[in-house]
Amino acid sequence: MAATHPFTVDLSGKVAVVTGGTGVLGADFSRALAANGAAVVVIGRQQAKADAIVRAIANEGGTAIAVACDVLDTGALRAAHEQIRSELGPCDILVNGAGGNHPKGTTTNEYLTDVDLQPHGPDHVSFFDLDATGIRHVMDLNFLGALLTTQEFAKDMVDRPGGSILNISSMNAFTPLTKIPAYSAAKAAVTNLTQWLAVHFAPVGVRVNAIAPGFFATEQNRRLLFEEDGSLSARSRKILAATPMARFGEAHELLGSLLFLASDDAAGFVSGITIPVDGAFSAYSGV
Give per-residue burial for 87-114: e unless 16+ CB within 10 Å, then b. Answer: ebeebbbbbbbbbbbbebbbbeeeeeee
Catalytic residue chosen out of the listed positions 29, 143, 183, 201: 183
* Residue 221 and residue 180 in contact, taking contact as beta carbons nearer than 8 Å: no
Question: Is residue 183 among the annotated active site residues?
Answer: yes
**How many Å apart are CA 44 and CA 171, to the nearest integer?**
24
68 contacts 45 by C-beta, under 8 angstroms: yes
d(CA 237, CA 287) in angstroms, rounded, equals 16
CA separation, residue 199 to residues 10, 65, 210 (Å): 26, 31, 14
Inter-residue contact 66 to 42 (CB < 8 Å) = yes
Which active-site residues does the annotation give?
183
